[in-house]
Structure 1
Amino acid sequence: MTRVLALASCEMKILRRNRWLVVATLIMVLFALALTFAGSAPTGTLGVDMLTISVASMTTLSVYLAPLLALMISFDAITGDADRGSLALLLSYPAGRGEVLLGKFIAHLGALAIAMVIGFGTAGAVAAWFGGAGAESLMALARLIATSIILGAVFVSLGYLVSALASSSTAAAGLSAGLWLIFVVLYDLGLLGAVVMDEGGAFTQSIFPWLMVANPADAFRVWNIAGSEGIALSSGMTGAAQALPVWAAPTSLLLWPLLGFGLARLAFRRIEP
């Protein structure tokens, strides 16, 4: 474990030197604040406080931004070292490949967690100050931050998988962009088209909800919506949140990082520096 923490500390220093942590935190703060003020209008209509509306808006933001930031930080974790010629030196250390990958994972996820806590925390504090906050909305904010970090872990691990499979950093960047597009955009469009064609049949009622939570981005959204009645009301997805067992979305989202990291470790084994 000492070797893993040493590698994580080294990776974190690289992130600070490259200003990645500062840039990611600023992105989260600016987008979260913008959505907080832009989405505050329906508070009186829906009868909920401003923080509830803010969390609903930030949930949508996190679906798009957390995977993107996670892939940006992880897509060259392996190919970048190979291109720079530092992978051979890294693998010469008295640490296994799994430990190397875990050290990178801890640092990268830690950086994402810092950005999300500061970004969402700042927006949540502003919303609570100007529009009030109840116990349920504060719990929803805490849940949003925690699940956003888990969603980030999913795509950090998938970024490692892409990095281990790609032949260069350029190829890894292209594959990461395609991965983000599939999970965040195209998957939902495909499900929507299937629902429209089904016209309320067996697919819509029985299969669609399970296919939705099979996607980590949708599982994240459903978990946050199902956890708060106010969030479900303000997001307009009450039906989707009630169509599945309570454990379905959390189970899917928690399993994805394990699956992605396991596949990345297997792919990393075949790489020769």
Structure 2
Amino acid sequence: MQLQPILTVATKEFHDRIRNRWVLAVALVFAVFSLVITYFGGAQQGVVGFRSIEITIASLVSLVIYLIPLIALLLGFDAIVGERERGSLDLLLSMPITRLELLLGKYLGLATALTASMIGGFGVVIALLFGKIGARGLYHFAGFMFSSVLLGLAFLSIAVLLSVIARDRTRASGLAIAAWFFFVLVFDLLMLGLLVGTGGSIGGDAFTWLLLLNPADVFRILNVFSLDDVRTLYGLASIVPPALGNPLAMGAVMLVWIVAPLLLAQWRFKS
């Protein structure tokens, strides 16, 4: 495996997103939604305006869990199957580039575009709130941003895997939407149903390990345990043992969610 072909493909993918203004559009979406939630997230309690970095992060966690997986899946679902459908995949593979290099280049370019859009959007929030949150708040918000990037990269890996598996773009888009519904909406309902259906016999550590099967829940746990006030706002604080509040441990789990789908995609792409 050589680095130059990977960087060439990645640069092309990133420049394509810049030219079609995808990065700017997504950054604008993140900025607008983040600012609205930051200033109006407490309106239902009769409070408007910035309250604290803890409350802000707690509110933004819900936004990120719904929005970032959807954007990442829509960004990467046609990474491979789109080239195959356009007839350009065979042309690319006829050049001095391996399937692994092509796959990694596609992923790296899309990941760079996704990361740039998120940092740009959240960066607007930091710029506007810097005088109110101080150095400590900036540290916690930076951690939140980093975990958000990891979540986006995890779902981008899943999108690339689906793009390799699907036979056409229509099926790939359907699989991407189905994956979003499963991980963001259905999974937690299944866990709740399992907990209630078994009368609570499956709980404690067993229930916690099941939550690690969903990158969205890993992200939630990572941010719930990052701040004391945020733990209080989420019911997960009464379920998840403090051992999993270690940011390094949860970060490692997120890395597994990034790498594992890519390994599966490479295995499938080779066959």
Same fold (TM over 0.5): yes
Superposed, 1:58-97 pairs within 5 Å as 58-97=60-99
Look up the match of 2:174: 174
Look up the match of 2:259: 258
> Secondary structure of 2:133's partner?
coil
Whole-Å separation in 1 of the counterparts to 2:9 and 2:201: 50
TM-score when normalising by structure 1: 0.89
1:49–1:69 Cα change, 3 Å: same
Equivalenced residues, count: 265
Look up the match of 1:105: 107
Q: Deviations along 1:113-161, whole A, 9 cap, x unmatched?
A: 11111212222333444xx215443222111111111111111111111
> Secondary structure of 1:93's partner?
coil
Gaps of 5+ in 1: none
Q: Is the 8 A contact 1:157 1:261 kept in 2?
A: yes
Deviation at 1:17, TM superposition (A): 2.2
Q: Is the 8 A contact 1:213 1:248 kept in 2?
A: no
Superposed, 1:192-207 pairs within 5 Å as 192-199=192-199, 201-207=200-206
Superposed, 1:209-228 pairs within 5 Å as 209-228=208-227
Whole-Å separation in 2 of the counterparts to 1:185 and 1:248: 24
Q: For the aligned residues, what is the CA RMSD?
A: 2.3
- Which AA in structure 1 matches 2:177? A
1:9–1:20 Cα change, 3 Å: same
Give the share of equivalent positions with the same residue, in percent. 35
Whole-Å separation in 2 of the counterparts to 1:44 and 1:168: 49
Look up the match of 1:229: 228
Q: Deviations along 1:13-42, whole A, 9 cap, x unmatched?
A: 111222221221111111111111122459
- Which AA in structure 1 matches 2:187? Y
Gaps of 5+ in 2: none
Whole-Å separation in 2 of the counterparts to 1:203 and 1:268: 38
Look up the match of 2:127: 125
Deviation at 1:85, TM superposition (A): 1.4
Q: Deviations along 1:205-238, whole A, 9 cap, x unmatched?
A: 2311111122111001101111221322344543
Greater displacement, 250-259 / 36-45: 36-45
Q: Is the 8 A contact 1:24 1:115 kept in 2?
A: yes
Q: Is the 8 A contact 1:109 1:153 kept in 2?
A: yes
